[in-house]
C-alpha cells in the first residue's frame, strides 16, 4: 500500500519530517536485527541445552501420570505447576483448559511426538497404551506478559519518536524565522530583523541574511534618494523651459515642444509618486471616502465627454483610503482604457461593486487587448511589450504600475486579464 501523495509531498518539503522518518527507519532496523540475532542465539541454546532438559522433564511427567494416564494426577499437576495438559486416547479424555479456540486445539501433524503445530503446546508424548499427552504453558498471566511488554515497547517507541520530532522542530526553529524574514525582506519590509536564537550554523546563517538585508536596504535607500534628488532637480529647469516655450510664437514645432515638456513633467511626477508609494501604507493619508461619489466627481471633471459607462452598486460601503491616491489610480485606469480603446465601437466601463465589506473597482476597455504572455509584465514600470501600446499612443509606461502600487499600499489586490475584446483591470480594496 502506497502512502498518500500529500504525505510524500510533506516529506519532500520538510527536512524535520525526513529526519524523524530516518530515525524511525533506523530504530525499526536496529530492533529487527537485535530480535533476529537474539532469536538465533536462543534457538541454538534451546536446541543444544534447554530442549534435552525439558524433554527429560516431560518424560518424567508423562511417567508420573501412569498408563493409562490418570486424570486426577493430571489435575493435581495442573494445580501444582504452571502447565496445561491434554490427554486424548481410547479410554481417557482430559483437557485442563477446555475453553481454548479451535486453532489452539489442532492435533499434531508432524509425526514427531516432540514437535507441535500450534502456539499453545510445547511437547507431546504417546503412552504405551496409545494415549496422546500434550504439555503446554498454563499460566495465563505469564502468557499475557509478552503481549503487555510488546505494547509497552511500542508506546515507548512512539513516545521517543514524538520527543525526537519535538527536538528536531526546536533545532530547526531558526529555519522558520529565516523563511519569515526572507519573505518580509522580499516584500520590502526591512524594519524587523530575523531573531538570533542561538549561535550555531543556523544562527550564523540568520545573522548573514540580516547583514545582506541591511546592505540591500542601504542600496535601495541610496537609489531612491538619488532618483528623488534628480527628479526634484529636473523640475526647475523643466518649468523654465516650458515658460520659455510659451513665449515662442505659435507654430507646430512649439506645440510639439510643449507636448514633450508635458510628457517629461508627467514622467517626473509619476516617478516621484512611485517612489513615495514604494513605502507602502506608510505613504498614505487615509480618510473616510465614498468611492462612488469620488468616481462621479472624477468623471464629471475630467472625462465628461468621453462617454465612460459608470455602474455603481446601490449599497457601496465607505472605505478608509487615501482619497488623492485613489483618485490617481482611477484616473490612470480610465486614461489607459480610453487610450487603447479609442478605436472600439463601445466606450470603456467603470464598475464599482460591493464584495462583502470591500469594494471592487473594475475598468474595462473594448480595444484589441494584449497577448496573454504580456499580461504578467503589463504593470511593470516603463513596459510597452504590445505593439498596440507603443509610445505613439501616449503615456510613459508608469500608469498601470502606479495603479498597482496604490492598490497594494491599501492592502488590496490588482489583476489584469483579457476580456475578449479588450483588457479588464480588477482592483479589490479592503475595508
User: Which phi and psi angles does 85 have, rounded to 5°?
Assistant: -130, 135
What does 254-314 look like in DSSP terms, one character per residue? HHHHHHHHHHHHHHHHHHHHHHHHTTGGGG---EEE-HHHHHHHHHHHH-TTTT-EEEE-S
Q: What is the model's pLDDT at position 145?
A: 56
Of the candidates 115, 79, 113, the one whose C-alpha atom is nearest the C-alpha of residue 96 is: 79
Cα–Cα distances in angstroms (integers) from residue 65 to residues 98, 108, 134, 265, 344, in the given order:
19, 21, 12, 118, 112
Q: Are residue 299 and residue 272 in the same domain, yes or no?
A: no
In this prediction, residue 107 carries a pLDDT of 43
Looking at the DSSP assignment, which residues form a beta bridge with residue 135? 85, 123
Residue 328 within any structural domain of the chain: yes
Q: Do 235 and 378 reside in the same domain of the chain?
A: no
Q: Are 178 and 205 in contact (CB under 8 A)?
A: yes
pLDDT at residue number 74: 87
Distance CA 379, CA 382 (A): 9
The cell for 118 is 500450534
In a domain, 132, yes or no: yes
What is the pLDDT at residue 287? 86
What is the model's pLDDT at position 122?
66
pLDDT at 71 over 80: yes
Residues 85 and 25 in one domain: yes
Q: Domain for residue 309, yes or no?
A: yes
Q: Is the pLDDT of residue 260 over 80?
A: no
H or E stretch covering 321: strand 319-321
Pick the range with the lowest mean pLDDT from 10-19, 214-223, 399-408: 10-19
Domain's final residue, options 228, 254, 277: 277
User: Both 293 and 420 in a single domain?
Assistant: yes
Q: Would the pLDDT of 146 be above 70?
A: no
Count CB-CB contacts under 10 A for residue 295: 23
pLDDT average, residue stretch 49-59: 79
223: left (phi over 0), alpha (psi -120 to 50) or beta: alpha
Q: Which pLDDT belongs to residue 24?
A: 77
- Full-model pTM: 0.49
pLDDT at 200 over 80: no
pLDDT at 106 over 60: no
CA distance 322 to 412: 13
Asked whether residue 134 falls in the same domain as residue 94, the answer is yes
Distance between CA atoms of residues 183 and 159, nearest Å: 35
Task: Specify the higher pLDDT residue, 193 or 390.
Answer: 193
pLDDT tier for residue 109 given thresholds of 50, 70 and 90? very low
- Specify if 25 maps to a domain: yes
What's the CATH code of the domain at 377?
A: 3.30.565.10
What is the pLDDT, as a whole number, of residue 388? 45
Same domain flag for 141 and 244 = no
Identify the domain boundary among 119, 146, 168: 168
Specify if 191 maps to a domain.
Answer: no
Q: Do 381 and 401 meet the contact criterion of CB atoms below 8 Å apart?
A: yes
Q: Look at residue 237 and tell me if it is in a domain.
A: yes
Residue 157 makes CB contacts below 8 A (sequence gap 6+) with 27
- Going by pLDDT thresholds of 50, 70 and 90, the confidence category of residue 384 is low
Q: Give the DSSP letter of residue 105.
A: G
Point out which residues pair with 312 in neighbouring strands: 352
pLDDT tens for each residue of 164-182 = 778 877 877 888 888 888 8
Confidence check: pLDDT of 108 > 60: no
Total domains in the fold of the chain? 3
| Sequence-distant (≥ 6) Cβ neighbours of residue 191 within 8 angstroms | none
| Whole-number average pLDDT of the chain | 76
Q: What is the pLDDT of residue 13?
A: 65
State whether 349 and 376 are in the same domain.
Answer: yes
Find the domain containing 372 and state its range: 284-429
Q: How many residues does the chain have?
A: 431
Asked if residue 36 is part of any domain, the answer here is yes
Between 238 and 406, where is the model more confident?
A: 406
Examine the domain organization and report whether 141 and 67 are in the same domain: yes
Same domain for 128 and 224, yes or no, is no
| pLDDT of 45 higher than 70 | no
Same domain, 60 and 162: yes
Same domain, residue pair 269 and 306: no
pLDDT at residue 103, as a whole number: 35
Whether residues 20 and 70 fall in one domain: yes
353-371 per-position pLDDT tens digit: 888 878 888 988 888 778 7
Give the residue from 153, 168, 183 where a domain finishes. 168
Q: Are 406 and 277 contacting, i.e. CB atoms less than 8 angstroms apart?
A: yes
- How far apart (Å, rounded) are the C-alpha atoms in residues 399 and 329? 8
Lowest-pLDDT range of 7-21, 82-96, 195-209, 319-333: 7-21
**156 in a structural domain:** yes
Percent of the chain with pLDDT over 90: 0
What angle (nearest 5°) sits at the alpha carbon of residue 139, between those of residues 134 and 143?
Answer: 95
Mean pLDDT of 194-214: 84
CB of 213 closer than 8 Å to CB of 185: yes
Mapped onto helix, strand or coil, the DSSP state of residue 415 is strand
CATH number at residue 217: 1.10.287.130
State how far the Cα of 376 lies from the Cα of 260, in Å rounded to an integer.
29
DSSP one-letter code for 323: H
The C-alpha cell of 25 is what?
527507519
Q: Model confidence over 207-230: pLDDT tens digits?
A: 888 888 888 888 877 777 776 677
Amino acid at each position: 500500500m502506497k502512502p498518500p501523495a500529500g504525505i510524500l509531498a510533506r516529506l519532500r518539503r520538510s527536512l524535520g519530517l525526513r529526519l524523524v522518518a530516518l530515525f524511525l527507519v533506523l530504530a525499526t532496523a536496529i530492533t529487527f536485527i537485535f530480535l533476529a540475532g537474539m532469536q538465533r542465539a536462543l534457538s541454538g541454546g534451546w536446541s543444544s541445552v534447554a530442549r534435552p532438559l525439558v524433554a527429560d522433564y516431560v518424560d518424567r511427567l508423562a511417567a508420573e501420570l501412569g498408563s493409562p494416564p490418570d486424570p486426577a494426577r493430571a489435575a493435581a499437576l495442573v494445580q501444582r505447576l504452571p502447565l496445561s495438559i491434554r490427554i486424548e486416547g481410547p479410554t481417557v479424555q482430559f483437557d485442563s483448559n477446555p475453553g481454548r479456540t479451535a486453532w489452539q486445539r489442532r492435533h499434531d501433524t508432524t509425526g514427531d511426538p516432540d514437535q507441535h503445530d500450534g502456539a499453545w503446546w510445547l511437547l507431546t508424548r504417546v503412552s504405551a497404551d496409545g494415549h496422546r499427552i500434550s504439555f503446554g504453558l498454563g499460566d495465563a498471566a505469564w502468557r499475557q506478559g509478552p503481549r503487555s511488554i510488546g505494547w509497552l515497547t511500542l508506546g515507548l517507541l512512539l513516545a521517543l519518536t514524538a520527543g525526537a520530532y519535538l527536538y528536531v522542530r526546536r533545532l530547526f526553529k531558526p529555519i522558520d524565522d529565516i523563511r519569515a524574514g526572507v519573505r518580509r525582506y522580499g516584500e520590502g519590509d526591512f524594519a524587523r530583523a530575523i531573531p538570533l536564537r542561538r549561535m550555531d550554523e543556523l544562527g550564523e546563517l540568520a545573522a548573514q541574511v540580516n547583514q545582506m538585508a541591511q546592505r540591500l536596504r542601504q542600496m535601495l535607500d541610496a537609489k531612491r534618494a538619488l532618483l528623488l534628488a534628480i527628479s526634484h532637480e529636473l523640475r526647475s529647469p523643466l518649468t523654465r523651459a516650458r515658460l520659455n516655450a510659451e513665449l515662442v510664437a505659435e507654430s507646430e514645432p512649439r506645440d510639439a515642444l510643449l507636448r514633450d515638456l508635458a510628457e517629461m513633467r508627467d514622467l517626473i511626477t509619476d516617478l516621484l509618486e512611485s517612489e513615495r508609494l514604494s513605502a507602502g501604507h506608510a505613504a498614505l493619508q487615509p480618510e473616510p471616502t465614498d468611492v462612488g461619489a469620488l468616481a462621479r466627481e472624477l468623471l464629471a471633471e475630467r472625462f465628461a465627454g468621453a462617454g465612460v459607462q459608470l455602474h455603481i452598486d446601490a449599497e457601496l460601503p465607505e472605505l478608509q483610503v487615501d482619497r488623492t491616491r485613489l483618485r490617481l489610480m482611477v484616473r490612470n485606469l480610465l486614461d489607459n482604457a480610453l487610450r487603447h480603446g479609442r478605436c472600439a465601437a463601445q466606450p470603456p466601463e467603470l464598475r464599482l461593486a460591493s464584495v462583502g465589506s470591500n469594494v471592487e473597482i473594475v475598468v474595462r476597455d473594448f480595444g484589441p487587448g494584449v497577448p496573454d504572455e504580456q499580461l504578467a509584465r503589463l504593470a511593470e514600470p516603463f513596459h510597452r511589450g504590445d505593439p498596440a501600446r507603443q509610445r505613439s499612443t501616449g503615456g510613459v509606461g508608469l500608469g498601470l504600475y502606479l495603479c498597482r502600487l496604490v492598490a497594494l499600499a491599501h492592502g488590496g489586490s490588482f489583476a489584469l486579464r483579457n476580456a475578449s475584446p479588450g483588457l479588464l483591470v480588477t482592483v479589490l480594496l479592503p475595508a
